[in-house]
Chain A
């Protein structure tokens, strides 16, 4: 028999060794005791009165029982306090004979205690055998699994995006709260339903089924799918579906987690933005086009390396070309004024050399032979590949130029009027004054000839008419003197003047005239000139006259630049000098002195009064006006007048001829 032996004193004989008379029984009991002590599972035997009958080594080690606990009531042993229902359970087992289990907690450790009946050799139930299985680790992993699961479930349900897990055949296994809400189905209704039944069939149309199929078959890749027009609790929505494979160790069957992301708002915003930016683009393009039309400005881009040129509509209009025809440099050249082709080539060359920005003016000859004046400003940029590209604006200056010319014409007429007015005389009567004596000369000379031609000649009459002819000749000469004298009688309006400033004003007035005559003006002003006392208007008439003469002298110059240099300088004796140097036809040295006489002119349409009057004005300012030929082509006209305020009191009347 292998039942454990219990001494009449109730002690666990095995623990204390065997001291029986029967050696074989002892041997069997010793073996049994060895086995029980080798078992790691604590085993405790309680008597029917719940006192400890005996226990094995593991019970001592694990539950902390000691030999002194044998015979004690289990309720007095701390380890059993963790299981209040132990006595009742044991009673039931003793009474019923069937084993049962009860949980027991000992500090941090958990045990499942199996209670089985303990029987004596006579099959009589004498108590219960408790075997303790340590489930602490199991419980911990269980509890953590439960915790994780609860967390996951909470997250799953808290996520605002709908999520669903699909199983075989893409049938719904479970979804989160958002999923059921979105598709207005209950958990039960959705259970095992194909995904495609939801959303009013919108998913069927999308390239979804195949991808999900592949994923359920083991693929991990999934391209998110956009599905428009999905029927949901919130109306028709646009959704992006993404999928992630779910696989579990030990489960051969795969599942797929599908996420739904509502992109309706984003798509609407994008659509609105597209619409808006499209509208904005359209508006700004229209605005630009209108601006170009209004400002008569076209624009172009020029990719230097490839010579790709793109024009704005307005530029086509300016060039008078059909909008959209391909633009080449050759085509541009056909429109450019022959005299300006070189200019254009130069600009193109500059562009090719990649100088930063360039700017220039050139003319076009239109098919109707009209001329257009263009101004181009080009800005160098680099495209994303670092290649040189120019963005340029081309303005049509023709109208502006026309009005400038009209303005200049009006201005020059005004200047003429001012000049005539400042002469203070004659105006219309200059002709009258001159023509009267001329008329007399011609009439008298004619009469004289006739009188001499009669037979006999009327010598007395001829002499009389010849005398009158001489007198009329003197009268004509007097007119010239009177012209200057009358002019000189004008009151001078004296003020202190800065000759540089006075000259600058004249230049400003003449600039457009000079430009139109293609005269290049160089000015050089000496600093710190003394002020002069003089009549601003009259001195300006002189300067204007010199400039105009110089410009006129170069009108027929075509083989060299029409260079006009005006400079002021300080002369010895505190005099200021202004000189105007032209590159014109020049003056014969022999006629230099005659130049300044009245009515002497080298100009076909001139009266020759200008220089004479100018000399009078300068002389009244105590100055001197003279002309000299240049070393090179042209002549230089200069005047000098004393500087300083003493000139104020020293203005002399010009001597009048009697």
Chain B
């Protein structure tokens, strides 16, 4: 049986790359190939130009300890170690002395806002806090790469959202190259710079969240993202009508009263603008009109139909 095949992609420095798929689609297997927790049977993995397959066991351990941090769905904290000892584990196995590793661990614990809990044991913490310990452990060694294996899936929705925010804030600050696995499309779209959709061990589509939602590669992807709210994802340029088409229908523009928008503004923002006025919205770059968004276009956009056509008229 093949767990993952035909999965070629590259992730650039500082990017958050989400891999989305149902359980059993091979996401976790794929991510474990990056740090060779699972040995690939064929194919190559390069990190900063270095072929990971060629590393000796010793070099591999150095890579795991210094370059790659990993967060697990089931937290996988060590129950016999305190929060501090858990976070310092990677440093400890690298042979750093107590003082140095305590200091780095405390920095990571502070970053996830768990100060004051250093001496507690994992089973004294709530699920959300445990996963924050997991996150702290992953970033303690300041690795360049983060592997997140469904880190927030086991948490309840409110805590999940809080942790997503926390993670996004941290990630904006630390600029780590992140592989983020999830089965939750909302999460992928919220977090990911790019998203790969995986099905039966194959990557069926790779693209930006907007791409995936507006141009799904096949029915499977379309199904997957069907429930996603497009309000935040679709920008004005996707569904505005050319200025010319509008003038043809309704005569010359009476621009003064129209609200103005930028092509990159989201559908959500356009709806806000539109509520305040009877007029269509004019989309401009540097004061130059680029397109028009009528109320009809806005409604079509909300339904996910972005083709700027005049058929409705």
Q: Do A and B bind each other?
A: no
Chain A interface (Cβ < 8 Å from any Cβ of B): none
